[in-house]
Copies of this chain bind each other. A is one copy, B any other.
Amino acid sequence: MSENKKKIYKPRPVSGFPEWLPEVRAVEQQWFDHIRRVFESYGFCNIETPSVEELDAINAKGGDGGADVDKEVYVLERLHREEGDKEARLALHFDQTVPLARYTAQHFNDLVFPFKRYQMQRVWRGERPQAGRFREFYQCDIDVINVDNLPLHFDAEMPAIIWEILSSLPGMENEKFQIRISNRKILIGFLNSIGIEDEKLIVEITRAIDKLEKEGFVATSDRLRKLIYGHLPESEQPSSTDETPIRHFIRLCTLKFTNSTDFRNALEKEPNIRTDNPILQKGIEDLEFIMDQLAHLPKGSVVADLSIVRGLDYYTGTVYETNFINDNGTLDTSYGSICSGGRYDDLASNYINKHLPGVGISIGFSRLFDRLRQQSKLPLKGISPAQFLITLEDETLRPRMMETAQKLRALGHNVETYHSPSKFKKQLEYAMKKGIRYVWLLPFEDRTADEVKDMVERTQTATRIEDWKQ
């Protein structure tokens, strides 16, 4: 007996690296299929890049990803590194933007521009393990890259795609969400128009506005007042209720506009906001164009929202965020953005001497999927993808079982065949546990025809293979 007392290593989940049971994975596959179908219906082609990039290539990309991400990079080491190995150090990619930039530069001459690509891969971030934070997760990205100039057309295409996906993902049908759009040129142009050109100050103002949703109008306008006027003698500073241009702008940022006319009207009612600044003007025009292109979507699914500034990111024009909203239309602040992105001027200048502007958006797939899983909102079906189980009551029936299965498969059905002659009840139980709807009985003894048992309708009727043509 001692040989049975082999030492056992009891496996445990690895924190931050999720895995699902088959029935959950089946829905995850449905999600990927659905997202892929929509991406492709807009003509986006797929690419996959290796899981790794050379560490030098990641570092060349510089600060775009931000210092926070750098810390989280995983590098590969061979368990038994041989001496004299002088390979480049490899790092798992932490997003799909660095790989896209590297790919576009490397294959530049083989690509057709505008390059519309989607990518649905795992990314890795070596965060400290904590609840709800994944260290390995899927992102679903689309980007359009062009040489020198990228038409605004594509900025308008992104939210239409995202709306179509999110509104019809299995389990998401009853969720309320909102795509919020702005254009960073509006903030920059406005600040320029009131004499603020200092980049550091602009970054600080951007950060403050990024927190507007959380901190509210009063705190934010107060913070901005101090940021902008703090260097003046106290007597020259506006009071916290003075109607300064920045205060007007922040008020505008608290509003949401469901169409370009409302947006334009609101702007025109703000005499303190001079729309003759060319950057500001361009930002407004671009945002209006996008809103007009999205007018066919249900009201409120997409809104112009000037508080969207995408923090410290490298975006230069259109910016997107997507949030769950509560039944009363307010933002569900308990959960970050489901899907974000924007326009950038320059994708790959670290890798190639070309000017490659782009626009893109990324669905935080795993986090969203896991949210719905935890809320038991995923439409789980059976464990088996099969619709049919052909039963085997006697070994002599095996050839007929195999033949029936092949014929049903040829009609496009998924079919399991029961492995050994056993009690019918046992086979029925197997179908039930695996979620197989139709149990097929071959002619045997008293039964002169094929019969099928529908586990949902609880019926059992004579049947023929040709009845199951799709």
Contacts and interface: CB of A to CB of B under 8 A. Distances in A.
A48 B70 contact: no
Contact of A50 (B18, B75, B82): B18
A51 B51 contact: yes
Contacts of A430: 112
A207 B351 CA distance: 50
A21 B406 CA distance: 36
Interface in A26-54: 26, 28-29, 40-54
Contact of A384 (B18, B43, B420): B43
Contact of A78 (B54, B126, B293): B126
Interface stretch (A233-241, A262-270, A324-332, A410-418): A410-418
Contact of A43 (B47, B106, B353, B414): B414
B14 A52 contact: yes
Nearest to A350: B9
Contacts of A29: 46
A147 interface: no
Contact of A40 (B41, B54, B414): B414
Contact of A383 (B82, B112, B154, B420): B112
B103 A154 contact: no
Interface string A69-98: 011111111111010000110111000000
A293 B399 CA distance: 8
Nearest to A401: B153
A22 B9 contact: no
Most chain B CB inside 10 Å of its own CB: which residue of A23, A50, A75, A92? A50
Contacts of A28: 48
Given A41-B409, A350-B8, A384-B43, A72 B78 contact: yes
A416 B42 contact: yes
Interface residues of A, number: 106
A37 to B, nearest CB: 9
A10 interface: yes
Interface string A87-130: 11011100000000011011100111010110000101010110
Copies per assembly: 2
Contact of A60 (B9, B82, B151, B350): B9
A423 interface: no
Given A8-B353, A78-B74, A106-B12, A420 B151 contact: yes
B73 A74 contact: no
18 contacts: A10-B105, A10-B352, A12-B54, A12-B106, A25-B46, A25-B47, A40-B414, A41-B414, A43-B436, A50-B136, A51-B136, A71-B80, A72-B79, A74-B77, A76-B76, A87-B129, A116-B416, A293-B398
A74 B4 CA distance: 32
Nearest to A18: B50
8 closest A-B pairs (Cβ-Cβ)? A43-B416, A9-B60, A17-B50, A43-B386, A153-B419, A40-B385, A22-B45, A151-B419
A298 interface: no
A40 B419 CA distance: 17
A13 B414 contact: no
A433 interface: yes
A227 interface: no
B73 A105 contact: no
A74 to B, nearest CB: 5
Interface string A262-295: 0000000000000000000000000000000100
A357 to B, nearest CB: 13
A296 interface: yes
Given A19-B49, A41-B409, A136-B50, A13 B106 contact: yes
Contacts of A25: 45-48
